[in-house]
Structures are given as structure tokens and as C-alpha cells.
Amino acid sequence: MATRKNPPCFICNSEPCTCKRLYNPAQVIKTPNPIPLNQPPYDSILLEAEGLVHGDRNADYGHPLDDFTRTAKMWSAILRVEVTPEQVGLCMMTVKISRECNHPKRDNMTDAAGYAETVEWCKNERQRRDSFLPPQAPIEDSPAPLHNPDAIIKPII
């Protein structure tokens, strides 16, 4: 019986790996069963991602710009550096890529494609809001709507 040879490391391109960063040649390489084309769940990862991103998620979480803005504020507080909504989407893509490097799975690539789409939505929505809306009064002078991620909640005394 022939022994299965590991492919070269995708970082240092050597076999066995010399960089030992992300690729462990001792790991068993598993090839997921491919989903035949023209069969459920979808024809391609991109079509599946499109169905997810353009589906009920907006109703559940709001526009990605608003959702990622809330997440960016939380990450900014934890990391003590400013994080933008677009960076949230990019970082979520890297989570999926990291998972794909560890254990290839269709869901990882589908979600990475979906996050790429939502980053684009954030950019477009920010541009739309900046160009079509009049400048807002400072937050402390205006009422705080519930959907506004920049709203400051003031205690009632």
C-alpha cells in the first residue's frame, strides 16, 4: 500500500515544512467529499453565500454597516485601538480562512465569500449615508434612536 505524501507547505513551499507556522505536516490531510454541481445545496460557494447574505440576516441583524459598527466598538474597547466596521468583516474573513487551513470545510469558504460581500456593502452604505444625509447634530443634542449604534444611553435619574 502506497503512503500518502503531504503536499508542500503553502507558506515556505518545502516538504517537510520548515517554517512550522501554520502547517503541521504530521496532520492527516482530509479531503472533504465534493458536492456535485447542479445538486443541492447550491451550484457554487458564491451562490450559496449570496443566498445567505441577501436572505433573512438583514432582518435579524440589521444592515452590515450597523451590525459591524456595534462589533467594531466592542472590539475597539477590548483591543484599545480603533476598529472600523470594514475591518470587522475582514477579520471575520480571516477567522474563516484560519479554520479552512485547519480543517477544510465548505462552510468556511462560503462564509468568507459572504463576509467579502458585507464589507462591500459597508463601504457602499457609508458612502450613501455620507453623500445623501445632512450632517447630524452631536449625539448628546439629538434623541438616541434604538437602531443607532453611535447612540449613547443616558441613565434616567
Q: CA-CA distance, 68 to 83, in Å (whole number)? A: 10
Q: Per-residue confidence at 60, pLDDT binned at 50, 70, 90?
A: confident
> Residue 113 pLDDT > 90, yes or no?
yes
Closest C-alpha among 91, 98, 93 to residue 23: 98
Please give the model's pTM, rounded to 2 decimal places. Answer: 0.58
What is the model's pLDDT at position 54? Answer: 85
Q: Per-residue confidence at 71, pLDDT binned at 50, 70, 90?
A: very high
Q: CA-CA distance, 119 to 88, in Å (whole number)? A: 8
What is the model's pLDDT at position 111? Answer: 95
SS3 78: helix
Q: CA-CA distance, 28 to 8, in Å (whole number)? A: 13
> Residue 149 pLDDT > 90, yes or no?
no
Q: Per-residue confidence at 24, pLDDT binned at 50, 70, 90?
A: very low
Q: DSSP letter at 29?
A: P
SS3 85: helix
Lowest mean pLDDT among 5-14, 91-100, 145-154: 145-154
Q: How many residues does the chain have?
A: 157
Look up residue 135 and give its three cell numbers.
Answer: 450632517
What is the model's pLDDT at position 150? Answer: 56
Type and span of the H or E element at 72? helix 64-79
* Residue for grid cell 496532520: 27
